[in-house]
Structure 1
Amino acid sequence: MTSLLSKSAPLALAAALATGPMVALAPSAALAVPAGGYADLVEQVSPAVVFIEVTGKAKPANFEGRLPDNTPEELRRRFEEQAPNGGRDQQGLGTGFITSVDGQIVTNHHVVAGAETVTVKLPDGRSFEAEVTGSDKATDIAVLKITSDVELPFVAFGSSEEMRVGDEVMAVGNPFGLSSTVTSGIISAKARNINSGPYDEFIQTDAAINRGNSGGPLFNNDGEVIGVNTAIISPGGGSVGIGFAVPSDLVQDVVADLADDGTVTRGWLGVDIRPMSDEVAEVLGYDTPRGAVIERVSDDSPADEAGLRNGDIILSFGDVEIFELRDLTRAVARTNPDDAAEVLVLRKGQEVTLDVTVGTLDAQDA
């Protein structure tokens, strides 16, 4: 069983003022590189970071999306993307990490999509055939299971919400098949929307991430997993210091669902939505566009039964204010089916509050 390091006490930094006494500055422990570097931390967590080999007849689904037109780099979300080979056996590489002594492993959906066999190799040389317990394309998270006669090393999740821009992070993975590669950097941004799916809220990092790092952990200085490395922006396929990880707070919810019954249950409202235009925002007196404009209400949907109409502008859902479309998408998805929520809408210039009972989102629609 792997234990996790506690934070090292920060060293005080002294600054001498020309006209005054010496002043001690104590930096945050969360921002400081561990004393002596990352070696002790690597020794603690690396036994739980695994190499994943996949074979399959079907070519894993490629991500064909692109960033907005004003962004020159191509978004390369599929690290293991390969050219078609006529239907012959294909092989893919990725990374995962063990989250329990009995062999639960977290990785990316796109690492194991279309897999016929999944082999997990531990840093100590042991190899296991893995079963895909469940996989969620919408968040690109998958859960695997291996069976061992002894307890396995594992790592724990930390809180991605508590991490701040500028905090130090460390990635461990298998870029280009080079097992147990360690890179470090900082959190460059949070809640990034890279237009890859409806639940985008990625952690951006400058820690080097390349093909083969997919599904690997992003650690804080306590050795806790605060993200799952999933995507990069790169003009040529290699790391240019712009990588993205699914935040651990979201990953934990998805993993719990997948481990339970192999699927993720999400709430469903039943509306097609679009952003508010700048012109409408100006007419309504808003400084910037906000809310989600309903274009269509599905028949017999929770929205239909609650009385939502085409043209309504959803301003809040439950206790979540809606500033952009993904705010509503995530708020509804995180609501348990059959739970009730108050929806505040702007209808013909008047605010109206409606009660809606959330339905269950079909897996295919997700």
Structure 2
Amino acid sequence: MKRIGLIVLAAFIGGAAAIGGYKLFEPRTAQLSFQDQQKVLFASNSKVSSAGSVDFVEAAAAVSPAVVHIRTSYSASNGDSSPMDMFDQLFGGGGGRRMQRAPQAASGSGVILTSDGYIVTNNHVVDNADKIEVVLSDRRKVSAKVIGKDPNTDLALIKVDATDLPVIKMGNSDNVQVGEWVLAVGFPLDLQTTVTAGIVSAKSRSIGILAKNQNQPTQEEYEEYQRTGKVPDRTNTSIESFIQTDAAINPGNSGGALVNANGELIGINAAIASQTGTNVGYGFAIPINLAKKILDDFRKYGEVRRGYIGVTFAPLDADMAEKFQVKENTGLYITGVLPNSGAAAAGLQKGDIIKKVEGAVIYDSPDLQEKIGRLSPGDKVQLTYLRNGSEKSTSITLKGDDVKKVSPTLAASGKPTGATISKLGASFIPAPSELKAKYGVKNGVVVTNIQTGKLFDSVDVPNGMLITTVNGKSVNNAKDVEDALPSSKNGMTTISGVGPNGNYTFSF
């Protein structure tokens, strides 16, 4: 009896010490990445495969409390599209951006990442919303604010003021295998928590939906298109490397959880491929390994800080190999190297074929984009490539947005990014003579760097646009642009120019 009492006492002391240690450490977890916080909350799982038991009862019970219902509302004055427009584009029911004529509401799903209220969802679920309301598993309704959002990956991080929330365990999407069982958990069609099952039918899938969403015109651009038939230039910076599943996903599931049979989060449900607007067997989720980096950036900086190799490329197959006159049917054929980029510094050249990144074989563009999308400016990446049939390796230091924002039109000129005019939120360089000759103009400046959130960015002036006049005055350098700004009429500034898709006129 005495021995049993000692055992109980020892267990009590040990438990108290563990709880005390956790409480002592708990305030520090906010300084950790989402991945490191997971290590504190959950015991490590040594399984190599993501697959688990065919019985989904435990997995569904573990995950469902951490998946929330997100409701958004949009005012009548909000001229931006609702989240459902993203579906319309994929389903074939869209067109130009629809202007809202009355207050609207939409809904989606989200996944709780931390007990103090950080929630991941899709960008298109919360983008442009005037109000975001989260319904928790215990039916409480709480307001949420956006911490960060990124249309290039369709991810967003929101925050609610709540504590002791249920948390989902993150898995490893690299270990996901085609053919393994998965569950989709969310709030489809405004129903309560719904769990559906299916298998992973493909990985690293690109369907073009994020590029379409990026290219959706503003109302002004749409009216210009109707008048002239010209469309504005766009640079696709989206990253698509979806996990494809036949687990039933419907509108409302966006931002919800895709989990493996162990109850681990492996993806964030984002889209479906359908001509009807409802599930026909193809759903797509953002891999959680890509999401981890994006979400950590949101919490640290409020935005994504993405690294770039600095190349343009075309995925190889039999047809492209014939076009480029190469023997390789797989890999990425480099069509251009941006000046001052990591790729340029490492000596990569047009015609090189990227075969591996960090030892992983590259078959298509999503393979490269997802791996680079997990990295930050300043990170180094090992690249294996072919040049004239010989395999070579090099280490590349990734650069930041300054690489992306230099127009490919100027890549051959090697010009600097030019002088910045803070009022416009852009930089300008004198147009190279060969560029003026190409477009048949005698003067102009080129927009080389547009600052996020500033004026040119807000009115969607494209990078690489060759501006010929500002308020009717010819311009040849940044000073000409600045001198012409005060001559606006009725407080409106008008710039005109030309780009790869024709003539442009912007008034603001």
**TM-score normalised per structure 2:** 0.57
> How far does residue 41 in structure 1 lie from its aligned partner after superposition?
4.5
- Cα deviation per residue 1:252-298 (whole Å; 9 max; x = unaligned)? 23222222222222211222212346367466444xx1232222222
CA distance in 2: counterparts of 1:344 and 1:213, whole angstroms: 39
Against the structure 1 CA distance between its residues 201 and 276, is the aligned structure 2 distance closer, same or farther, given a 3 Å change threshold? closer
CA distance in 2: counterparts of 1:169 and 1:341, whole angstroms: 31
Against the structure 1 CA distance between its residues 77 and 108, is the aligned structure 2 distance closer, same or farther, given a 3 Å change threshold? farther
Amino acid at match of 2:206: N
CA distance in 1: counterparts of 2:95 and 2:180, whole angstroms: 31
| Aligned: 1:120 with 2:134 | yes
Report which of the two structures shows the higher radius of gyration computed on alpha carbons.
2
Structure 1 residue aligned with 2:203: 190
Consecutive unaligned residues of structure 1, counting only runs of 5 or more, are 8-27, 67-74
| Aligned: 1:59 with 2:81 | yes
CA distance in 2: counterparts of 1:107 and 1:188, whole angstroms: 23
CA distance in 2: counterparts of 1:81 and 1:93, whole angstroms: 22
Amino acid at match of 1:46: S
CA distance in 1: counterparts of 2:121 and 2:267, whole angstroms: 11
Against the structure 1 CA distance between its residues 191 and 116, is the aligned structure 2 distance closer, same or farther, given a 3 Å change threshold? same
| Aligned: 1:109 with 2:132 | no
Against the structure 1 CA distance between its residues 214 and 293, is the aligned structure 2 distance closer, same or farther, given a 3 Å change threshold? same
Structure 2 residue aligned with 1:153: 166
Which protein is richer in strand relative to its size? 1
Match of 1:130, SS state, is strand
Structure 1 residue aligned with 2:305: 265
CA distance in 2: counterparts of 1:345 and 1:120, whole angstroms: 47
CA distance in 2: counterparts of 1:77 and 1:173, whole angstroms: 24
Within-5 A mapping of 1:304-343: 304-343=344-383
Against the structure 1 CA distance between its residues 326 and 203, is the aligned structure 2 distance closer, same or farther, given a 3 Å change threshold? closer
> How far does residue 127 in structure 1 lie from its aligned partner after superposition?
0.8
| Aligned: 1:302 with 2:315 | no
The one of 275, 289, 295 aligned to 1:249: 289
| Aligned: 1:209 with 2:211 | no
The one of 5, 27, 50 aligned to 2:68: 50
State whether residues 132 and 145 of structure 2, in contact with CA within 8 Å, keep that contact through their aligned partners in structure 1: yes
State whether residues 181 and 199 of structure 2, in contact with CA within 8 Å, keep that contact through their aligned partners in structure 1: yes
The one of 139, 143, 150 aligned to 2:153: 139
Against the structure 1 CA distance between its residues 31 and 202, is the aligned structure 2 distance closer, same or farther, given a 3 Å change threshold? farther
CA distance in 1: counterparts of 2:395 and 2:97, whole angstroms: 50
Structure 2 residue aligned with 1:218: 258
Structure 2 residue aligned with 1:21: none
More moved, 306-315 vs 80-89 = 80-89
Which protein is richer in helix relative to its size? 2
Against the structure 1 CA distance between its residues 43 and 268, is the aligned structure 2 distance closer, same or farther, given a 3 Å change threshold? closer
State whether residues 177 and 212 of structure 1, in contact with CA within 8 Å, keep that contact through their aligned partners in structure 2: yes
Structure 2 residue aligned with 1:129: 143
State whether residues 51 and 262 of structure 2, in contact with CA within 8 Å, keep that contact through their aligned partners in structure 1: no
> How far does residue 318 in structure 1 lie from its aligned partner after superposition?
4.2
State whether residues 184 and 207 of structure 1, in contact with CA within 8 Å, keep that contact through their aligned partners in structure 2: yes
Consecutive unaligned residues of structure 2, counting only runs of 5 or more, are 1-40, 211-237, 406-451, 453-508
State whether residues 247 and 281 of structure 2, in contact with CA within 8 Å, keep that contact through their aligned partners in structure 1: yes
Against the structure 1 CA distance between its residues 182 and 312, is the aligned structure 2 distance closer, same or farther, given a 3 Å change threshold? closer
Structure 2 residue aligned with 1:13: none
CA distance in 1: counterparts of 2:140 and 2:321, whole angstroms: 59
> How far does residue 251 in structure 1 lie from its aligned partner after superposition?
2.1
Match of 1:124, SS state, is coil
Within-5 A mapping of 1:85-100: 85-100=99-114
Match of 1:359, SS state, is coil
- Cα deviation per residue 1:212-258 (whole Å; 9 max; x = unaligned)? 11001122233222221111111211111211111222222322222
Larger RCO, structures 1/2 (Cα 8 Å, 6+ apart)? 1
| Aligned: 1:171 with 2:187 | no
State whether residues 68 and 111 of structure 2, in contact with CA within 8 Å, keep that contact through their aligned partners in structure 1: yes
State the identity %. 38
Against the structure 1 CA distance between its residues 220 and 285, is the aligned structure 2 distance closer, same or farther, given a 3 Å change threshold? closer
Against the structure 1 CA distance between its residues 82 and 99, is the aligned structure 2 distance closer, same or farther, given a 3 Å change threshold? farther
Amino acid at match of 1:361: D
Amino acid at match of 2:52: A
Structure 2 residue aligned with 1:70: none
State whether residues 146 and 159 of structure 2, in contact with CA within 8 Å, keep that contact through their aligned partners in structure 1: yes
Amino acid at match of 2:260: N
Amino acid at match of 1:168: W
User: RMSD of the TM alignment (CA)?
Assistant: 3.6
Match of 2:52, SS state, is helix
State whether residues 77 and 232 of structure 1, in contact with CA within 8 Å, keep that contact through their aligned partners in structure 2: no
- Cα deviation per residue 1:304-340 (whole Å; 9 max; x = unaligned)? 3333333333334443443323333334333432234
CA distance in 2: counterparts of 1:240 and 1:125, whole angstroms: 30
More moved, 237-246 vs 156-165 = 156-165
State whether residues 106 and 144 of structure 1, in contact with CA within 8 Å, keep that contact through their aligned partners in structure 2: yes
Name the count of aligned residue pairs.
328
> How far does residue 104 in structure 1 lie from its aligned partner after superposition?
1.0
Structure 1 residue aligned with 2:272: 232
Against the structure 1 CA distance between its residues 305 and 64, is the aligned structure 2 distance closer, same or farther, given a 3 Å change threshold? farther
More moved, 153-162 vs 238-247 = 153-162
Against the structure 1 CA distance between its residues 276 and 164, is the aligned structure 2 distance closer, same or farther, given a 3 Å change threshold? closer
More moved, 350-359 vs 221-230 = 350-359
Against the structure 1 CA distance between its residues 174 and 218, is the aligned structure 2 distance closer, same or farther, given a 3 Å change threshold? same
State whether residues 313 and 336 of structure 2, in contact with CA within 8 Å, keep that contact through their aligned partners in structure 1: yes
Match of 1:95, SS state, is strand
Match of 1:236, SS state, is coil
CA distance in 1: counterparts of 2:207 and 2:165, whole angstroms: 35
